[in-house]
Amino acid sequence: MKRLPPLPALHTFLVTAQHCNFTRAAQQLHITQGAVSRQIAGLEEHLGYPLFQRQARGLALTREGQDWLPRVQQIFALVEQGVREVGGRSSTLQLKAPTCVMRWLLPRLMEWQALRPDVPVELTTTVQHGVDFRHEGFDAAVVYGAVPNHGLQVRKLFDEQLTPVCAPSLLNGPLPLQQLQDLTRHMLLHPSRDEHDWRLWLQAAGAGFEPQGPKQHFETLDMAMAMASQGTGIAIGDWALIGDDLRGGRLCMPFGLKVTTGKGYYLVSPSKTMAAGLVELMEWLQERARH
């Protein structure tokens, strides 16, 4: 039986194949270009055929190299998965959440850490609204959208409720906000390019007009809220997420109408047998969402 090729040489092959360049591979691996070249040559000698064609402008995979690449990628993907799943998890809980929920979530996590320093939480933020626990090594996640129904452990935090928000200084400024038509005299801040949230609220309010005045778009809800708090314009916000801003006087609601969209925020976990610390965190966050 032929001896298996050494794992470090396979890793060097993987990185080199991704770049098709010895110099860039050496930079990523933090070794010399000569060391990369020697490892590849040794691997080729061990296998008995070349993996790369040396060309004037760099490298190209041979047919055998092309056949090897997906297999080596799979090997290291399995190793990475094993590190995550087989005794390699930190005692720190790994939580994923979209940026739109940060205004509510971050102060609660800071409060949790003060109460329970023995159950630390590492938060990863993303512009994505979902999670794929099959390929992402998180213990739990906050997701936004419809009710998740993929066999997950699901705890509802709150429904999305849209309402315009602005800095208190705008209410009685040079262009006071007293009726719906006054919105046309102010810049509207949109948390997305499609302007769907503003249109939905205006329709529910019976405004009879679509936003045609000055506008500005942002990549995230949090950015729109930040600009609104500075008096730049009026944003469409989620009432459930801005309670701290309202109580602190950074934002106010010029109109009382809150429109439920059918979407919401949910705390999800992939496992039915969760660690005690994770169960406590999820129950605590759900309880805080009720207040």
What is the sign of the dihedral through the CA atoms of 147, 104, 107 and 256? Answer: negative
CB distance 119 to 277 below 8 Å = yes
What pLDDT shows up at residue 253? Answer: 92
Q: What is the pLDDT of residues 118-173, one digit of tens each?
A: 899 999 988 788 888 888 888 999 999 888 877 788 999 999 999 999 999 888 77
CB distance 182 to 175 below 8 Å = yes
Strand 215-217 relative to strand 188-190: parallel, antiparallel, unpaired?
parallel
Which residue, among 251, 233, 167, 238, has the nearest Cα to 197 in the 3D structure? 238
Q: What is the pLDDT of residues 219-248, one digit of tens each?
A: 777 788 888 888 889 999 898 888 888 888
**What would the two tokens of residue 123 be?**
């938060």
Confidence of residue 88 (pLDDT cuts 50, 70, 90): very low
CB distance 121 to 109 below 8 Å = yes
What pLDDT shows up at residue 281? Answer: 93
Is the pTM higher than 0.75? The answer reads no
**What would the two tokens of residue 134 be?**
């099959």
The third-level CATH classification (topology) of the domain covering 7-85 is Arc Repressor Mutant, subunit A (1.10.10)
What is the sign of the dihedral through the CA atoms of 36, 39, 43 and 48? Answer: positive
Q: Where are the domains of the chain?
A: 7-85, 92-291
Helix 276-289 and helix 102-115, axial crossing angle in degrees, nearest 10: 130
Q: How many CB atoms lie within 10 A of CB 81?
A: 14
Q: Which helix (H) or strand (E) holds 215?
A: strand 215-217
Distance CA 101, CA 221 (A): 9
Q: How many CB atoms lie within 10 A of CB 261?
A: 15
Distance CA 40, CA 108 (A): 51
* Assigned CATH for 92-291: 3.40.190.290
Q: What is the pLDDT of residues 71-80, one digit of tens each?
A: 998 888 887 7
Q: What is the pLDDT of residues 207-220, one digit of tens each?
A: 877 767 788 888 77
What pLDDT shows up at residue 62? Answer: 93
For residues 173 and 195, which has the higher predicted lDDT (pLDDT)? 195
Tokens 């509802």 belong to residue: 156
End-to-end CA distance of the chain: 67
**Residues comprising the chain, all counted:** 291
Average pLDDT, the chain: 86
Lowest mean pLDDT among 27-36, 41-50, 70-79, 80-89: 80-89
